[in-house]
């Protein structure tokens, strides 16, 4: 791990040694000039996908943190600063690194940045591994039915997370990816660990699962995805067997 401060910016890198221009890694225009942008996705802001295998051994996704809801219309991306460890990007980087080192199927964190101002607020960015040949579960279920094995794999992956006492506070069908769908190399990934963390006890685990089920039912109505009660029971079987 490499930590660095440059003026009002703080960085953490998942490198052993410094790299050229590393403080510019959070600027999409830096990558555009090198013709390394290979795609993007729209959400609250734009997530940029970047060709970096020669630099980091994986391609990456660059994401800036934006506020949502009504407050996001007034204050787009500034957050109150309490500590680097509690900042959105450093906290997510740290959690992802913990889960990655534990062998869970989560994107490898590559780097994070926090930019402070003199008023006690900060903006944040993160670079994480881009999961290749993967699609989010909601998009997949529009036109496909998952196998019994796939549903069980999803349940088992969530159980692995819960066994580490980590609560995914936004566990929904969009934050589950299936890589290499319907092949021997099919793999389940969990993404978007912003504002997630450790919880004690077990009561929250059932609540977390019910949150996921509600997201499936919501997408059945909204996008007509292929999801049934039997699918849910198959997922629970995988969860309970892990």
Strand partners, 140: none
With bands split at pLDDT 50, 70 and 90, how would you rate the model's confidence at 4? very high
pTM of the prediction? Answer: 0.94
Same domain, 123 and 140: no
Q: Which of 56-70, 98-112, 128-142, 208-222 has the lowest mean pLDDT?
A: 56-70
Same domain, 107 and 141: no
CATH number at residue 204: 1.10.510.10
Distance between first and last Cα of the chain: 32
Same domain, 85 and 121: yes
pLDDT of residue 125: 98
Same domain, 234 and 149: yes
Question: Domain end: 91, 113, 129, which one?
Answer: 129
Enclosing domain of residue 226: 134-241
Give the total number of structural domains in the chain. 2
**Rounded average pLDDT over 80-97:** 97
According to the 3-state scheme, what is the secondary structure of 66-105?
CCCHHHHHHCCCCEECCCCCCCHHHHHHHHHHHHHHCCCC
pLDDT of residue 235: 98
Instruction: Give catalytic residue positions.
Output: 170
Question: Domain end: 129, 150, 177, which one?
Answer: 129
Question: Domain end: 105, 129, 153, which one?
Answer: 129
Residue 225 has pLDDT above 80, yes or no: yes
Q: Are 59 and 132 in contact (CB under 8 A)?
A: yes
Same domain, 169 and 235: yes
pLDDT of residue 177: 97
Same domain, 121 and 159: no
Coil/strand/helix, residue 146: coil
Residue 131 has pLDDT above 90, yes or no: yes
Residues ≥6 apart with Cβ < 8 Å to 39: 48, 49
Same domain, 112 and 48: yes
Percentage of residues of the chain with pLDDT beyond 70: 99
């Amino acid at each position: 791990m490499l930590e660095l401060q440059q003026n009002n910016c703080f960085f953490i890198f998942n490198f052993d040694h410094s790299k050229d221009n590393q403080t510019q890694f959070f600027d999409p225009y830096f990558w555009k000039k090198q013709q390394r942008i290979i795609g993007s996705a729209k959400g609250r802001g734009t997530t940029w996908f970047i060709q970096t295998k020669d630099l980091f051994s994986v391609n990456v996704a660059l994401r800036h943190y934006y506020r949502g809801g009504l407050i996001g219309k007034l204050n787009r991306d500034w957050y109150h600063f309490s500590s680097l460890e509690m900042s959105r990007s450093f906290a997510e980087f740290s959690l992802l690194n913990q889960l990655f080192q534990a062998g869970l199927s989560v994107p490898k964190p590559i780097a994070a940045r926090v930019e402070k101002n003199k008023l006690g607020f900060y903006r944040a960015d993160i670079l994480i591994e881009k999961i290749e040949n993967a699609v989010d579960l909601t998009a997949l279920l529009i036109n496909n039915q998952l196998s019994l094995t796939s549903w069980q794999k999803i349940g088992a992956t969530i159980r692995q997370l819960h066994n580490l006492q980590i609560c995914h506070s936004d566990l929904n069908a969009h934050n589950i990816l299936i890589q290499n769908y319907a092949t021997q190399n099919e793999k389940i990934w969990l993404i978007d660990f912003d504002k997630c963390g450790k919880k004690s006890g077990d009561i929250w685990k059932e609540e977390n699962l019910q949150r996921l089920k509600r997201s499936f039912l919501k997408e059945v109505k909204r996008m007509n995805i292929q999801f049934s009660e039997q699918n849910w029971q198959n997922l629970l079987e995988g969860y309970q067997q892990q």
